Amino acid sequence: MPQKIRKLIIPVAGFGTRFLPVTKALPKEMLPIVDKPILQYIVEEAVASGIEDIIVVTSFNKRAVEDHFDYMPELEAWLARQGKTEALEQVKKIAELANFVYIRQKGPYGNGTPILNAKHLINNEPFAVIFGDDLMLGPRPHLQQLIEVYEQYEQPVITAYKVDDEGTKNYGIIEAEPISDRVYKVKSVVEKPGPVAAPSRLASISGYILTPEIFTELENTPLGKNGELWLPDAINQLLSKKPIYACLVDGIYYDMGSKLRWLEANVDLALKDPELKDEFRDYLKQII
């Protein structure tokens, strides 16, 4: 019986420069999609996948993240006095979603550093990673799909997502052997190869089930582009030592580092909101 995936690492330490000036004071991960911050969607999806402990790797300007997932007695008392019971339950539930642990990122820039920073909290268990600005929405939780593949093979699993030719310039592309309808055995991940050199149209995006061996690889991975420590480099090193699988995830991927994709996510979810969808659809028809 494979160990249960109980822990998720969410790195949120970046500056969010593509959303300046708003991210000067507000973490990018707290930008709203309709009425909830990006990070809350990620946390809720993780909890629905069975995650119990969420390790958030932050930096000096991310205090709003900690405040959001905490109780707020003053607001709760005011809502109770006003008889706003539904809103009161909503804000209280946020703090009760999971066990939250916050640590500060230390070390070189790059998406491998926050994973290494959380090593002492993992206790030699398999664990999940999702970056705080990557959102996948679909019929089933993103992490649940990865966990199911992990439970079958008991080896690391990365997210695969189909992209077009343009996507091969923007993402690491997976070279892999198909195992079943949505599962692949990974041979390598080629960083942004472009359409001619790309070994497939399967992009490696945020969302991983990793085993503790990844920490040794990160500790021994040379700094890469821009002097940063990159998780994909460590994963490629691990490939020579143990099998890694990819799961073609069923869902729509929104790169929340992109203003356009953030706007698209707001439109898509507003059109599904019971209170907004009819009036919002009418508004869109008018402006189109």
Residue 266: its pLDDT value, please?
96
Residue 52: its pLDDT value, please?
96
- Judge if 53 and 32 occupy the same domain: yes
Burial class for 177, CB neighbours closer than 10 Å (0-12, 13-18, 19+): exposed
For residue 4, the SS3 value is: coil
Continuous H helices in the chain: 38-48, 63-68, 73-81, 85-95, 113-117, 142-153, 194-197, 213-219, 231-239, 259-270, 277-287
What is the rounded (10 degree) CA torsion for 201, 202, 203, 206? 160
Residue 173 inside a domain? The answer is: yes
Residue 2 inside a domain? The answer is: no
Q: What is the radius of gyration, based on Cα positions, of the chain?
A: 20
Residue 88 inside a domain? The answer is: yes
- Judge if 223 and 283 occupy the same domain: no
Compute the distance between CA of residue 270 and CA of residue 276 in angstroms, rounded to an integer.
6
How many other CB atoms are found less than 10 A from the CB of residue 285? Answer: 8
Tell me the angle at which helices 259-270 and 277-287 cross, rounded to the nearest 10 degrees: 130
- Return per-residue pLDDT of the chain as tens, 288 residues: 778 999 999 999 888 889 999 999 899 999 999 999 999 999 999 999 999 999 999 998 899 999 999 999 999 999 999 999 999 999 999 999 999 999 999 988 888 999 999 999 998 899 999 999 889 998 999 999 999 999 999 999 999 999 999 989 988 899 999 999 899 999 998 888 898 999 999 999 989 999 999 999 999 998 887 888 999 899 999 999 999 999 999 999 999 989 999 999 999 999 999 999 999 999 999 998
Domain that holds residue 288: 258-288
Can you list the pairs that 147-155 forms with residues at least 24 positions away whose Cβ atoms lie under 8 Å?
A: 147/5, 147/49, 147/50, 147/209, 148/247, 149/183, 149/209, 149/245, 149/247, 150/2, 150/5, 150/126, 150/209, 150/245, 151/2, 152/183, 153/243, 153/245, 154/2, 155/211, 155/242, 155/243, 155/244, 155/245
- Judge if 119 and 176 occupy the same domain: yes
How many structural domains is the chain composed of? 2
Compute the distance between CA of residue 9 and CA of residue 17 in angstroms, rounded to an integer.
22
- Judge if 209 and 277 occupy the same domain: no
- Judge if 113 and 195 occupy the same domain: yes
Question: 107-150, pLDDT tens digit by residue?
Answer: 888 889 999 999 999 988 999 999 998 899 989 999 999 999 99
